[in-house]
């Protein structure tokens, strides 16, 4: 079967989608030229003959396929991890739960969950044209001034939860993150309380990180939070509750009061570096 794969230039997740599609059928990789215009681009993709239309389960991939599915009035399975016949396995709850479902319809429309398949090597890509159809398009792009290490790309993220207790309590989190050249993160409880801006939130509805080390201080480990931090290579939990769910996701733990432990780690780092 012919699998049309939308490939975004220089995008690792798109190459993972190609890797997935190569195991399913004959891949025809396409991109679309010009400035991004979701409805017009989707119209161009939907017009191509295919047995399946696939993209990465990224913001853009999921958006484009939602448009394609609406144009063709066909089902769309987002964030699929496996396809056997017409049964998909897909992600729910940001990865805390999986669903098996029968995907009817033709073409099959599905996005590939990030980091569930190996990326394909270089792939020949055709370029489709998508004439401006008057649908919404970007009016202007405002570049953000980069203030320090971004949460998404940081090698180390030191994060605080309810246990930090207050906005001021984050000074010890900031200190440790600063010493490690890392970023400060937090849980949803913290942003809902207004202690930190939403841009600091690690979670299903915040940023999904891929740090080498994630230090979770006073974070219980709700599924909402785990969805954001499970991409970290190593997780260290600092928590006063040895029964906290975070300990079933963390690699290492220190049990006790984060208000004593975090400053002690900062002091130890300074001591080791000073000698």
Residues 216-245, interacting with other proteins (CB under 8 A) = 220-224, 233-237, 242, 244-245
x/- track of binding to other proteins for residues 142-171 (CB under 8 A) = xxx-x---x-x--xx---------------
The reply to whether 101 sits near other proteins by the rule CB under 8 A is yes
CB 230 within 8 A of CB 95: yes
- Which of 140, 168 has the CB closer to other proteins? 140
- Which of 117, 188 has the CB closer to other proteins? 188
Q: Which element (helix H / strand E) includes 263? A: helix 258-274
Number of Cβ within 10 Å of residue 260's Cβ equals 10
Sequence-separated contacts (24+) of 93-99 with Cβ below 8 Å: 93/204, 93/223, 93/227, 94/203, 94/204, 94/223, 94/224, 94/226, 94/227, 94/228, 95/226, 95/227, 95/230, 96/223, 96/226, 96/227
Binding to other proteins (CB under 8 A) within 32-51 occurs at 36, 38-39
The reply to whether 208 sits near other proteins by the rule CB under 8 A is no
- Shortest Å, Cβ 124 to other proteins: 26
Q: Which element (helix H / strand E) includes 255? A: strand 252-255
- Which of 144, 168 has the CB closer to other proteins? 144
* Chosen residue from 130, 172, 188, 229 binding other proteins by CB under 8 A: 188
- Which of 101, 126 has the CB closer to other proteins? 101
* Strands 183-186, 26-32: pairing kind: unpaired
Angle, in degrees to the nearest 10, between helices 59-72 and 12-22? 50
Q: What backbone phi and psi angles, to 5 degrees, belong to 23?
A: -80, -10
- Region binding other proteins by CB under 8 A among candidate stretches 18-26, 121-129, 164-172, 263-271: 263-271
The reply to whether 173 sits near other proteins by the rule CB under 8 A is no
- Region binding other proteins by CB under 8 A among candidate stretches 14-22, 47-55, 122-130, 195-203: 195-203
**CA-CA distance, 182 to 185, in Å (whole number)?**
10
- Shortest Å, Cβ 244 to other proteins: 7
The reply to whether 70 sits near other proteins by the rule CB under 8 A is yes
The reply to whether 104 sits near other proteins by the rule CB under 8 A is yes
* Chosen residue from 67, 117, 196, 208 binding other proteins by CB under 8 A: 67
Which of helix, strand or coil describes residue 274?
helix
- Region binding other proteins by CB under 8 A among candidate stretches 22-30, 102-110, 123-131, 167-175: 102-110
């Amino acid at each position: 079967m012919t699998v049309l794969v939308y490939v975004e230039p220089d995008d690792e997740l798109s190459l993972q989608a190609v890797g997935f599609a190569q195991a399913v059928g004959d891949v025809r990789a396409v991109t679309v030229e010009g400035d991004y215009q979701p409805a017009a681009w989707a119209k161009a993709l939907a017009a191509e003959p295919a047995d399946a239309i696939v993209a990465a389960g990224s913001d853009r991939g999921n958006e484009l396929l939602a448009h394609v599915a609406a144009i063709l009035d066909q089902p769309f399975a987002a964030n699929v991890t496996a396809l056997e016949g017409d049964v998909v396995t897909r992600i729910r709850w940001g990865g805390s739960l999986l669903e098996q479902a029968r995907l009817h319809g033709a073409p099959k429309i599905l996005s590939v969950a990030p980091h569930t398949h190996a990326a394909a090597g270089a792939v020949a890509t055709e370029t489709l044209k998508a004439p401006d159809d008057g649908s919404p398009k970007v009016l202007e792009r405002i570049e953000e001034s980069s203030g320090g290490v971004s949460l998404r790309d940081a090698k180390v993220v030191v994060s605080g939860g309810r246990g930090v207790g207050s906005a001021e309590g984050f000074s010890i989190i900031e200190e440790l993150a600063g010493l490690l050249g890392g970023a400060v993160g937090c849980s949803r409880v913290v942003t809902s309380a207004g202690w930190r801006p939403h841009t600091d939130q690690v979670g299903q509805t915040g940023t999904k990180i891929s740090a080498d080390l994630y230090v979770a201080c006073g974070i219980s480990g709700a599924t909402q939070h785990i969805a954001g931090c499970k991409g970290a290579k190593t997780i260290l939990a600092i928590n006063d509750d040895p029964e906290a769910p975070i300990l079933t996701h963390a690699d290492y733990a220190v049990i006790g009061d984060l208000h004593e432990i975090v400053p002690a780690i900062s002091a130890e780092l300074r001591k080791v570096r000073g000698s």
